[in-house]
Amino acid sequence: MSTKLFRIIPLNPTALLIEYNQQPSKVLLEKLLSFKLLVEKQAKVTRCVMGYQSLIIHLNEEIKNLSWWKNHLNELQIQIKKVKLNKAKLWKIPVCYDNKYAPDIISLSKALKLEIEELISIHTQTKYRIYFLGFLPGFLYLEGLNKRLHFPRKENPILNVPKGAVGIGGKQTGIYPNLSPGGWHLIGNTPLTLFDIKQNPPCFASPGDWVSFTSIDQKTYQDLEKKIKKDKFKFMPHD
């Protein structure tokens, strides 16, 4: 197996970066998911974190022999085709696209030369694949935004994007899991909590899963928000 498929770099005394020499794609995603499963079964590995083209491997001991790790990881790479991945889950995320929760939907629809209803329809008709989680804890990097909704990020980001805000930036759409700065165009909001440190796992979704958005009105949003606050709502995947 050629080492040219990826490079292996020590990040610190107990972590390695594996970076593939391929562009992000469905094929590479499946490869990373399979490799992650193999690596996580190794006794010295505590966890793996995925990126678009990479894995970060955290170890329970210092790296004393980098050559050994390089050979070992290349041997594991050969076994990828034998890995059977679990069936990906589909998460249907409720979103209110009303102006109250969507401060940029009017300006974005005008810039895209779409009616607001058409923008919402396009956004909700797509199934998006989760490539990895990052930027903020619980932030889902989603692949699959319809080209008709591609639009550059804001020239001047804002400091306080609200928790649950659904935005469009460049070729991507995503959800802000917590209050944070951001430069995406905000077209809606979900009452769901995407990241909760008290839960195991803290984020309900994983790389490889699918996400779709469902349009809800303000009353449904507020009712769901109350249920979540009272811990009377359990978010479950769909078949």
Boundary residue ending a domain (51, 82, 113):
82
Boundary residue ending a domain (24, 58, 82):
82
pLDDT of 2: 43
Q: What string of H, E and C letters represents the secondary structure of the chain?
A: CCHHHEEEEEEECCEEEEEECCCCCHHHHHHHHHHHHHHHCCCCEEEEEECCCEEEEEECCCCCCHHHHHHHHHHHHHCHHHCCCCCCCEEEEEEECCHHHCCCHHHHHHHHCCCHHHHHHHHHHCCEEEEEECCCCCCEEEECCCHHHCECCCCCCEEEECCCEEEEEECEEEECCCCEEECCEEEEECCCCCCCCCCCCCCCCCCCCEEEEEEECHHHHHHHHHHHHCCCCCCCCEC
Q: Are residues 133 and 198 in the same domain?
A: yes
Residue 136, in any domain of the structure: yes
Residue 239, in any domain of the structure: no
Total domain count, the chain: 2
Q: CA nearest 55: which of 207, 233, 215, 170?
A: 207
The Cα–Cα gap between 200 and 164 comes to: 20
pLDDT of 121: 98
Average pLDDT over residues 149-157: 96
pLDDT of 89 over the 70 cut: yes
Residue 237, in any domain of the structure: no
Residue 33, in any domain of the structure: yes
Task: Give the chain's mean pLDDT.
Answer: 93
Host domain of residue 70:
3-82
Residue 238, in any domain of the structure: no
- Per residue in 3-59, pLDDT (tens digit) is 468 899 999 999 999 999 988 899 999 999 999 999 999 999 999 999 999 999 999
Q: Are residues 180 and 147 in the same domain?
A: yes
- Per residue in 204-215, pLDDT (tens digit) is 999 999 999 999
Domain with residue 52: its CATH number is 3.30.1360.40
Boundary residue ending a domain (32, 49, 82):
82
Q: Are residues 52 and 113 in the same domain?
A: no
Q: Are residues 154 and 59 in the same domain?
A: no
Residue 60, in any domain of the structure: yes
Domain with residue 109: its CATH number is 2.40.100.10
Q: Are residues 73 and 126 in the same domain?
A: no
Q: Are residues 155 and 214 in the same domain?
A: yes
pLDDT of 3: 47
